[in-house]
Amino acid sequence: MAKRDVAEQVLDALGGKQNVKANDICMTRLRILTEQPDLVDMKKLRSIRGVLGTVRRGPNGVEIVFGPGSINEVSNDIVQLTGIQPSYSAFRGSSSAPEDSISVQINGHAPIPKAVRAAVAAKKPLASTRVESTANAEDDNEDDIDELASLLEATGAAGTKRLLVVNGPNINMLGVREPKIYGRKTYADLVRLCRKAAREAGFAECRCFQSNHEGDLVDVVQAAYGEFDGIVINPAAYTHTSIALLDALKSVAIPTIEVHISKVDEREDFRQTSYVRAACFETIVGMGLEGYRKAIKDMAQYLSEHDEDEKD
């Protein structure tokens, strides 16, 4: 079955795309906030090929666990079909916040069915392996799902490195104006490019975040501490003004690459200053959106070299 079909079936089981208020992904889970939770058919969701388990989180949240091979594509398709970009902040403060699951522990509560456990441990494809023991239930036990996701992540079946891509003010306006400087591609195109590049570079997760507000950018960098292995950042105009963002990047000390779409070095004088550069090990300018692809590849390379250093 094509991944697109999977996304269409997921939306159907969620009560249609109009019932999706927000979405986000982490390494193995698709997170959905619904408008009307009673429209969600959990049984239908759980019968979709590739779905390993489901759980309701909070009054409006649903989490759907996929095998590592399919989560990114299904998520991309959900984004295309709904027109809603993955949003980290939409889940903040709700009981289905990404933080909940990123920090989940294998706590030894409800056991994972043996077949799933064995497939994960053997790093076998999981598309046809389902949580059979709970197939008739309304949804899976939360502990069971957390353990399943943790197991998938801990065994490296989903890769291990997590990438955060941060974009600053007006990047959401890409493709709308000034095509001579910033090109014709939109922010949605940029998110797609980053997710694909990250998948190809072997990242387990690629989360894209954009805000027009300096404090939000500081918050997301701080929240990345202990959660993400690398940051690719285009702080846009805050590049040239924000000591707060520089301090945030320094405080988390996560390897960071600075990207600029345009040739900032050939533009106005005020664009020649970059405060964040002091916290970045590489800066890429003037390559258009392709600069993000290079940054993601270079980050993967840097992280693999850094891991090897640790082994020596």
Q: Cβ closer to ligand CA2: 284 or 303?
A: 284
Q: List alpha helices for 203-289, DSSP H.
A: 214-223, 243-252
CB of 292 to ligand CA2, least distance (A): 10
Q: Binding mask 159-198 vs ligand CA2 (x if CB under 6 A, - otherwise)?
A: -----------xx-xx-xxx---x----------------
72 touches 199 (CB < 8 A): yes
Q: Cβ closer to ligand CA2: 273 or 304?
A: 273
| Out of 9, 60, 211, 234, the residue judged to bind ligand CA2 by CB under 6 A | 234
Tell me the longest C-alpha to C-alpha distance in the chain. 65
Single-letter amino acid, residue 77:
D
Q: Binding mask 240-279 vs ligand CA2 (x if CB under 6 A, - otherwise)?
A: --------------------xxx-x------x--------
In Å, what is the CA distance from 31 to each residue of 2, 11, 147, 155, 173?
21, 12, 16, 22, 26
Q: How far apart are CA 96 and CA 94, in angstroms?
A: 5
| Out of 9, 101, 239, 242, the residue judged to bind ligand CA2 by CB under 6 A | 239
- With a CB cutoff of 8 Å and minimum separation 6, the contacts of 193 are 185, 289, 292, 293
Q: How many CB atoms lie within 10 A of CB 150?
A: 18
CB of 177 to ligand CA2, least distance (A): 4
Q: Cβ closer to ligand CA2: 69 or 183?
A: 183
| Out of 236, 246, 279, 284, the residue judged to bind ligand CA2 by CB under 6 A | 236
Q: How far apart are CA 20 and CA 11, in angstroms?
A: 8
**Which residue ranges make up the site for ligand CA2 (CB under 6 A)?**
170-171, 173-174, 176-178, 182, 234, 236-237, 239, 260-262, 264, 271
